[in-house]
Amino acid sequence: MNNRFKENIKKKSSSDSIIDKIMINAIRLFSFIVIIIFILILGKIFYEGIGVINWNFLTGIPKSDISKGGIGPAIFGTMAVSLIMLILAVPVGIFSAIYINEFAKDTFWLRLIRASVNSLAGVPSIVIGLFGFGFFVLFVGKSIDSILQTGMFFGQPAIIWASATLAVLVLPTIIVTTTEALNSIPLTFRQASLGLGASKWQTIRYVILPQARPGILTGVILALSRSIGETAPIMFLGSAFFLPNLPLAYLDLSFIQIPIINPADQFMHLAYHIFILSTQSSNPTLTEPFQYGTTLVLVVITLLLNLTAIIFRFRFRKINEVVKRNQ
């Protein structure tokens, strides 16, 4: 009896362990398949795109014969839109996070702000684009035009409205990451500063913000990378397929002319460029290498930004861990 019982256990556990091994390895296998598909996707873009990358392609202006032209204005336009987006979104995002983490008590207002940030993060980008078109271009822009009597100057799609719309889109990203960064700073830092007689504002300004800088920077970089990759909202907010001139205006100081980004101009954009090239090309076999090349540029920019953000976050966590351990 005892023997049979033992045998039973042995049998059961050995068949059990075989099934266990099979299932665990199946999980491994599927995970590797997914990862290999991801690697293949990146590899394909690099392999096909690297051939057309040269100085002329990166800086040249687009020509009707695509093999002679470049994507310089598209890169410039992407950077211009993102720069203005950052100017609009970053201060508001950081200040909001400071309010949420440093000032707010658990009141109605804090809950309202938190709920709004969460909801705003969940709004689909196309809906934000729709809002941007209806609100910024047709409502705000047209109102400015009728007040300033500028005709059809502001009330049309332009860099400033694309940037403003993208700013609304990335605001939750910046707020959430900055709040996390502020929240991860040990309470003892605040106590030490307040104990020395510093006011709350001085504590924030001289202790918390410098300490949270890498964490805040992570949020800014993530926001930047997200805005560069968003295509849907900017499609009807002033991105154009073919603009040989850069969207610049010249600030005339009589002795020197300083070029600045003209926020009322239309612009070329890498993501939109890829969309148009791949959907409305008349000769796909000829333009395909250049489609891959443009895609490669966009992918490399976003990959580098995301990688930087990951490294920053990793280092930031390590620093805070060390601080906490030494206490």
Partner 1 sequence: MKKYHSSYAKKRTFKSALVEKTVKYFFFLNGMISVLFLLLIILFLFKEAISAISGIGIAEFFKNVQWYPTSDAPRYSIIPLLYGTLLTAIPATIISSFLGIILGVYLSEIASGRTREIIKPFIEIFAGLPTVVIGFLILAVGSTFFQELFNTGTRLNALLAAFGLSIILIPTISSLTEDALRAVPDNLRMASYSLGINKFSTIRNVVIPAAISGVSAGIILGFGRAIGETMIVLMASGNAAELTLNLLHSVRTITATIAGELGEVAYGSPHYYSLFFIGTFLLIITFVINLISELIIARMRKKLKKMN
Residues 245-304 that bind partner 1 (CB under 8 A): 271-272, 274-275, 278-279, 288, 291-292, 295, 298-299, 302-303
Q: Which of 58, 306, 308, 323 binds partner 1 (CB under 8 A)?
A: 306
H helix or E strand, kind and range, residue 267: none
Q: Which of 118, 143, 245, 257 binds partner 1 (CB under 8 A)?
A: 118
Q: Which of 36, 123, 192, 196 binds partner 1 (CB under 8 A)?
A: 123
Q: Which of residues 190-249 bind partner 1 (CB under 8 A)?
A: 199-201, 222, 225-226, 228-232, 235-236
By three-state DSSP, how is residue 239 classified?
strand
The encoded tokens of residue 93 equal: 């995002």
H helix or E strand, kind and range, residue 316: helix 284-325
Radius of gyration of the chain (CA): 26
**Least Å from the CB of residue 13 to partner 1:** 7
Angle between helices 284-325 and 2-49 (to 10 degrees): 120
**Least Å from the CB of residue 59 to partner 1:** 22
Site string for partner 1, 145-164 (x = CB under 8 A): --------------------
Does position 113 bind partner 1 by CB under 8 A? yes
Smallest CA-to-CA distance from 120 within 182, 39, 175 is with 175
Q: Which of residues 162-181 bind partner 1 (CB under 8 A)?
A: 168, 171-172, 175
Q: Which of 60, 61, 83, 135 binds partner 1 (CB under 8 A)?
A: 135
The encoded tokens of residue 42 equal: 């990146």
Does position 34 bind partner 1 by CB under 8 A? yes
**Which residue lies nearer to partner 1 by CB, 192 or 310?**
310
Does position 15 bind partner 1 by CB under 8 A? no
The string of DSSP letters for 144-209 reads HHHHHT-SSSSSS--HHHHHHHHHHHHHHHHHHHHHHHHHTS-HHHHHHHHHTT--HHHHIIIIIH
How many C-beta atoms lie closer than 10 Å to residue 196's C-beta? 10
**Which residue lies nearer to partner 1 by CB, 111 or 260?**
111
